[in-house]
């Protein structure tokens, strides 16, 4: 089938939705489908079938080092600020007319949108105009202020809504979106990324820091909750003085978090790392922690980095927000704690560090569970959604 994918942010711009969009497109190409991707940020040139390069001209071989095999259509007027409302509306208006124009030349079977209310409105209108179905994937928690029954109308022209977590599905049901219109399918991971590990580099990383090593990966912003992990780590140091905390990521809260961590020994801010380096750091570590919170306009979906930590065989400590509880079963493959609770995070870390068998059992459980999240399986589920509306 021919698929028009509308996704504002796309690699090499880094983010969970971006990686999702690229991986899904590549898997659909492998299955023999044709995909055109309409983007606002990322890619190379409009209508290019080339290797995807970073903004610095380097191949992102660890992530996306392959020939694309699909067309990228990129919106003009790139001077508009990233993440601005003006840019978002312009992107959706541009995509509406760009897809419509190309549909006349070579018709699409389906439109797959990535976003929420705004994308549902514009993409739904487009699908209705073209007389083809529209599927929408919602990647992160919805803005609570918009979750009102009167706003359900924005989804009226969407045939199916894929929610990456049960929490998103419940939010939509609460505003009277029909259950039959909703599917829960998380993002995926490429398990092949975890093969052929560079054991020498992992060993070098492991020896660089004192044990045990706790790691967290994520944008340094309020919704990721790193401040609660830093406070928890301070408590942990009372009993595990040699412990190390590695924080991978960059973001607006970096200076604030560094200031708060200044007097706590053993905390390292490693900034943003290439994907293969993140994998190596995960393998060099002992525990993974994601202390996300539900910020008003920035809520967790299903965390790709939790799935990557599972694939690396780490026990996980995370909060009961977004899709985390769909991945982590408390006491089985990790611990679920209340958000903003530093004491609970510290207790969970201490419990793992005192119990080698528990850590081993959680590792084995994660390595087994993650097999169902490989991108080949996730893509198959999404194709089934397409087939149900065609």
Query: Residue 66: which pLDDT band, with cuts at 50, 70 and 90?
Result: very low
pLDDT at 62: 34
Return the C-alpha torsion angle 139, 140, 146, 152, nearest 10.
Answer: 30
The pLDDT tens digits for 185-239 are 999 999 988 888 889 999 999 999 999 999 999 889 898 999 999 999 999 999 9
Query: Residue 3: which pLDDT band, with cuts at 50, 70 and 90?
Result: very high
CA-to-CA distance for 70 and 49, rounded, in angstroms? Answer: 6
pLDDT at 51: 38
pLDDT for 338 beyond 50 = yes
Average pLDDT over residues 165-192: 93
- Residue percentage of the chain with pLDDT more than 70: 92
Query: Residue 58: which pLDDT band, with cuts at 50, 70 and 90?
Result: very low
Peptide bond into 273 cis (omega under 30): no
The pLDDT tens digits for 120-169 are 999 999 999 999 999 999 998 788 888 999 999 999 999 999 999 888 99
Q: Do domains 2-188+374-389 and 191-372 have the same CATH topology?
A: yes
pLDDT at 141: 74
pLDDT for 54 beyond 50 = no
pLDDT for 245 beyond 90 = yes
Dig out the tokens for 333 from the structure: 């493959």
CA distances from 141 to 41, 63, 190, 351, 370 (A): 22, 26, 24, 30, 22
pLDDT at 46: 40
The full set of domain ranges for the chain reads 2-188+374-389, 191-372
- Residue percentage of the chain with pLDDT more than 90: 74
The beta strand positions in 182-322, using DSSP E, are: 182-184, 213-217, 244-248, 267-271, 287-290, 316-319
pLDDT at 67: 54
pLDDT at 56: 27
CA-to-CA distance for 318 and 308, rounded, in angstroms? Answer: 14
- Report the chain's C-alpha Rg in angstroms: 21
**For domain 2-188+374-389, which CATH number applies: 3.30.160.60, 3.40.50.2000, 3.40.50.300, 3.40.1710.10?**
3.40.50.2000
Average pLDDT over residues 341-366: 97
Average pLDDT over residues 228-252: 96
Query: Residue 16: which pLDDT band, with cuts at 50, 70 and 90?
Result: confident
- Write down the CATH superfamily of domain 191-372: Glycogen Phosphorylase B; (3.40.50.2000)
Q: What is the pTM of this model?
A: 0.83
pLDDT at 167: 86
CB-CB contact of 219 with 249 (8 Å): yes
pLDDT for 296 beyond 70 = no
**Helix H or strand E segment including 233:** helix 226-236
Q: What is the mean pLDDT of the chain?
A: 90
Q: Which of 249, 324, 245, 317 is nearest to 285 (CA)?
A: 245
Query: Residue 303: which pLDDT band, with cuts at 50, 70 and 90?
Result: confident
CA distances from 294 to 166, 187, 194 (A): 15, 19, 30
More confident residue, 193 or 334: 334
**Helix H or strand E segment including 336:** strand 334-337
List the single range of 61-75, 78-92, 97-111, 219-233 with lowest mean pLDDT: 61-75
């Amino acid at each position: 089938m021919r698929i028009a994918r509308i996704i504002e942010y796309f690699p090499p711009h880094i983010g969970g939705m971006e990686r999702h969009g690229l991986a899904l497109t590549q898997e659909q190409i492998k299955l023999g489908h044709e995909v055109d991707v309409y983007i606002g940020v990322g890619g190379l040139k409009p209508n290019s079938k080339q290797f995807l390069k970073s903004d610095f001209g380097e191949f992102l071989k660890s992530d996306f080092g392959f020939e694309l095999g699909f067309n990228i259509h990129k919106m003009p007027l790139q001077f508009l600020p990233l993440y601005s409302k003006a840019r978002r509306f312009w992107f959706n208006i541009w995509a509406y007319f760009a897809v419509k124009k190309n549909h006349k030349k070579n018709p699409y079977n389906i439109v797959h949108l990535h976003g929420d209310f705004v994308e549902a409105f514009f993409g739904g209108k487009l699908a209705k105009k073209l007389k083809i179905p529209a599927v929408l994937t919602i990647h992160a928690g919805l803005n609570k202020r918009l979750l009102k029954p009167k706003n359900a109308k924005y989804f009226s022209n969407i045939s199916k809504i894929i929610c990456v977590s049960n929490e998103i599905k419940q939010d939509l049901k609460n505003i009277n979106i029909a259950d039959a219109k909703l599917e829960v399918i998380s993002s995926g991971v490429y398990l092949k990324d975890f093969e052929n590990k560079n054991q020498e580099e992992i060993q070098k990383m492991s020896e660089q820091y004192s044990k045990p090593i706790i790691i967290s990966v994520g944008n340094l912003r309020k919704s990721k909750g790193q401040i609660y992990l830093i406070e928890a780590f301070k408590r942990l140091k009372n009993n595990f003085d040699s412990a190390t905390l590695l924080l991978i990521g960059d973001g607006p809260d970096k200076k604030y978090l560094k200031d708060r961590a200044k007097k706590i020994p053993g905390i390292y801010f490693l900034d943003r790392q290439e994907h293969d380096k993140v994998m190596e750091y995960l393998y060099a570590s002992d525990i993974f922690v994601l202390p996300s919170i539900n910020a008003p306009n920035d809520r967790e979906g299903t965390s790709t980095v939790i799935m990557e930590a599972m694939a690396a065989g780490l026990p996980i400590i995370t909060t009961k927000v977004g899709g985390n509880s769909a991945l982590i079963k408390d006491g089985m493959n990790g611990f679920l704690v209340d958000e903003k609770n530093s004491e609970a995070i510290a207790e969970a870390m201490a419990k793992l560090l005192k119990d080698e068998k528990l850590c081993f059992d959680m590792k084995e459980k994660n390595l087994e569970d993650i097999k169902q999240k490989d991108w080949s399986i996730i893509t198959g589920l999404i194709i089934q959604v397409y087939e149900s509306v065609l």
